[in-house]
Chain A
Amino acid sequence: MEQFAALVDALIYTRSRNGKLTLIADYLRVTPDPDRGWALAALTDGLDFPAVKSSTIRNLLKDRVDPVLWSLSRDFVGDTAETASFLWPEPLRPVDAPPPTVSEAVASLAAMTRASVMADLPRLLDRLDAKGRYALFKLATGGMRVGVSARLAKVAFAQAFDVEVDKVEELWHALAPPYAELFAWAAEGAAPPDTANMPLFRPFMLAHPLENTEVDLADYVAEWKWDGIRVQLVHVGGETRVYSRSGDDISATFPELIDALAIPAVLDGELLVRGSHQGGETGGAASFNALQQRLGRKTVSRKMLAEAPAFVRLYDALAIGGDDLRALPWSDRRARLEALMPRLPDSHFDLSQIVEAENFAQLAQIREGARDEAIEGLMLKRRDSPYVAGRKTGLWYKWKRDPLLVDCVLMYAQRGSGKRSSFYSDYTFGCWTADPDEGGELLPVGKAYSGFTDEELKKLDRHVRQNTVNRFGPVRETDKSLVFEVAFDSVHASKRHKSGLAMRFPRIHRIRWDKPAHEADRIEALLALVRD
């Protein structure tokens, strides 16, 4: 655990990609199995210990540290695990067991239950110093946040053992931590595991934003960009899997799709839920709001399945009937996909329609006119593009529709987390209920954490500190003098918010240091934009 803790800290402080690669590769080379496999899984968020949550850590500390001192400390540090690692009281008598190995820690965390965790976790913590406790908390709760993407870890693995990264990528999803076969193959030259009959995830093809570029519609085809979640459906060897964009297996969250796909294929599309909204000729999709209720669930109730049934709007095929189509041009893959559609149940699948336009200018008009909830904008795909992993310049573009804008007044600010823990970087803003000169008041309508530069953040932080009128724990109420031009993608009716409104993707578009607060928009302006 000490070496792993040292690696975690070194990764936190290392800025360069090469530096990170070297650190991970060195660790993987010298660390024995299965520690290195568990460490690799931890770095790429591949571990899950249901008994240990962030709240578990808070509860453990609550019994040992004064709650006021805890919350002041947590507020300052900005990270629960790190705060707890500092405040964990050293054992009264030195523990004579050595620090646990990573495998021992993993085994012990996996064996913990909600009932036993409060007694078991302290026994591990007492054997570690503050750095070790930090690494253990991060390992136990997931989300290392050490700037290591799954991709980077795979590249480091390839570098450590001088093997091809594409091969690593392919095998990765076939294997589970601690990846014994992967290490046996790469480090000891054993035969690679057989993956032919495994429902593997293939890395997605991604798009660049279209910025001040015009494309020729002779070379590019336009499709709607749907406001759902990107999924990959894989059916092989009688098994179906649904993978999210990051390659997570989310089959359990959408069981209705498992039975719906019974043909060997790998399909790419947008997962949506049925609703009264239009969008596509073959059936309506509800707004993202409705889909959100289905996300992140490990089990789904029958009621949920009936009220918000999921379907996939398909736009690409990576493989059909055992043929790998990825090397073919988009137009050929599209033809294969269209031919496949009649064999798929239309209760759960439809085809993402091509958007026809005479020329780019007309396409721009069509995009502007689209205010449908399920549409985020347009996708532009090169007709001759193969299906390649990642973002390749010039092949696919996303062209989001222009955001909606509204002028709001800053009301409350809270410190950010992580890198921004010392800045007031989370802002709650409001609109007027009526003309402020005739008694109108501000009502919070949303929160934003992004859209400003580091320079602007510093100025905003200063503004908050200098214009605080009230403090509620970590939250500061400001004098409501600053106007934000807030950009957002859509706005919905919401019972959870006092204003009755919920914005989607709000971000600070411009800071209007010049604009008097009473000239900000009224709630009516937002209400007029609701399309639920």
Chain B
Amino acid sequence: MSSAPHWIQPHPQGIYVAPADCWVDPSVAVERALVTHGHADHARGGHGETLATPETLAIMDLRYNTRAGAVPVAYGETLRLAGSVDATYLPAGHVLGSAQILLEHAGERVVITGDYKRRPDPTCAPFELAPCDIFITEATFGLPIFTHPPIAEEIGKLLGALAANPEACVLVGAYALGKAQRVIAELRAAGHHDPIYLHGAMERMCRLYEELGVPLGELRLVADHTKEDMRGAIVICPPSALNDRWSRRLPDPITAMASGWMRVRQRARQRNVELPLVISDHADWHELTRTVEEVNPRETWITHGREEALLRWHELHQRKARALALVGYEDEDEDD
């Protein structure tokens, strides 16, 4: 018997909040959607009304041109929805604008994390812990093998490879929303102020980040420059372009990739990555389990990722948990 509240209902296409007649991160177009963050598997276009942080709305607008029906919600602001449901958006620390959504109804608190991490990230507000009855969490890196190293170590590896190969360039595959900007911001924080070159597909999102108040230093487009210009420079592209013909215009690129999956050697080998950088915007195993302990919910629901191991951990710690079979949440293998 589940002690789950009847008013919050997991369906294959998303989480339905019955009294308010709205959905959280639905994978199909709905009348009213509460969206945690701008990644494609959480934010889809075509909803009648989209309730999200201003940053997430700006990201969605950039991707889907969905200005219509946009309802901005600031962090910490509480919205009264229909059916006496209160919704509060709290920072999730995942990417710019990412939020956990706290829903309160009939004396019960439910937190839906979307994607999150607990580590500092210069490009977004840090995760805020919210005690609740039902904690609905992701589990992208929900296996005990995942321990993300301190990002300074990985940035150090990147700068080390750059210094050792002054005639080459280091090509870093990084997801266009969040990862790329975080890597750039961390490089700046580490004192690297040379121009950083971008694949065309990264440009608009980087500009948007800057408009939204995240400084990224001097950025240049690969297309506007010669091979010679890029010797000794860092170039950032989407993971899909890493082994693409596109990279032939670069001077002897050393292939790097910034992703939590790079922890596993064969994952890096599969992508022909020479310099794996274990940098993730998701919580690792220790962050996931620590967060459950700190939130200390009556029950944990797991939306997507490696739910079996996290379920097992709950069992071992005499905690209640269930996996939701949501569709459309891709294994964020490629995008992390």
What residues make up the interface of A, taking CB atoms closer than 8 Å to B?
9, 12-15, 65-66, 68-69, 72-73, 76-79, 82-83, 86-87, 418-419, 421-422
Contact = CB atoms under 8 A, between A and B. Distances in A.
A283 to B, nearest CB: 47
Contacts of A72: 143, 306, 308-309, 312
B3 interface: no
6 contacts: A13-B274, A69-B144, A76-B145, A86-B147, A421-B264, A421-B266
B274 A76 contact: no
B145 to A, nearest CB: 4
A468 B182 CA distance: 38
Interface residues of B, number: 24
A418 B266 contact: yes
B1 interface: no
A419 B266 contact: yes
A419 B270 contact: yes
Given A13-B275, A66-B312, A73 B269 contact: no
Interface of B: 143-145, 147, 263-270, 272-276, 306, 308-309, 312-313, 316, 333
B146 to A, nearest CB: 8
B312 A68 contact: yes
Contacts of A78: 266
A186 to B, nearest CB: 27
A76 B143 contact: yes
A69 B312 contact: yes
Contacts of B316: 66
Nearest to A84: B145
Contacts of A13: 265, 268-269, 273-276
A15 B268 CA distance: 12
B268 A83 contact: no
A156 B183 CA distance: 36
Given A13-B268, A87-B144, 13 more contacts: A65-B144, A66-B312, A69-B312, A72-B312, A73-B143, A73-B144, A76-B143, A76-B306, A77-B145, A78-B266, A79-B266, A82-B264, A83-B145
A261 B111 CA distance: 79
Nearest to B268: A13
Given A13-B273, A13-B274, A422-B270, A77 B309 contact: no
A86 B269 contact: no
Contact of A14 (B144, B267, B274): B274
A66 B315 CA distance: 11
Nearest 10 CB-CB pairings of A with B: A86-B145, A68-B312, A72-B309, A73-B145, A13-B274, A421-B266, A73-B143, A69-B144, A12-B265, A77-B264
Contacts of A69: 143-144, 309, 312-313
A191 B312 CA distance: 63
Contact of A422 (B147, B263, B267): B267
B180 to A, nearest CB: 22
Contact of B272 (A15, A73, A86): A15
Given A69-B313, A76-B306, A82 B265 contact: yes
A15 B266 contact: no
A532 to B, nearest CB: 39
Given A69-B312, A69-B313, A72-B312, A12 B269 contact: yes
Most A C-beta atoms less than 10 A away, residue of B143, B265, B306: B265
Contacts of A73: 143-145, 309
Contacts of B268: 12-13
A233 to B, nearest CB: 39
Contacts of B309: 68-69, 72-73
A315 to B, nearest CB: 39
Contacts of A9: 265
A9 B264 CA distance: 11
Contacts of A15: 272, 274
Contacts of B312: 66, 68-69, 72
A422 B264 CA distance: 11
Most A C-beta atoms less than 10 A away, residue of B145, B263, B333: B145
A87 B274 contact: no
Given A15-B274, A66-B316, A86-B145, A76 B269 contact: no
B269 A87 contact: no
Nearest to B263: A86
Nearest to B276: A13
A79 B268 CA distance: 14
A14 B272 CA distance: 8
Contacts of B308: 72
Most A C-beta atoms less than 10 A away, residue of B266, B267, B269, B275: B266
B221 to A, nearest CB: 28
A65 B276 CA distance: 27
Nearest to B265: A12
B145 A87 contact: yes
Nearest to B266: A421
A455 to B, nearest CB: 14
Contacts of B274: 13-15
Nearest to A15: B272
Contacts of A65: 144
A297 to B, nearest CB: 32
A12 B271 CA distance: 12
A418 B268 CA distance: 11
B36 to A, nearest CB: 26
A82 B268 CA distance: 14
Nearest to A134: B265
A145 B316 CA distance: 35
B166 to A, nearest CB: 17
Contacts of B313: 69
A477 B144 CA distance: 27
Nearest to A8: B265
Contacts of B265: 9, 12-13, 79, 82
A68 B269 CA distance: 27
Nearest to B270: A419
A452 B266 CA distance: 20
A228 B269 CA distance: 35
A451 to B, nearest CB: 20
A83 B309 CA distance: 14
Contacts of B147: 86
Nearest to A14: B274
B333 to A, nearest CB: 8
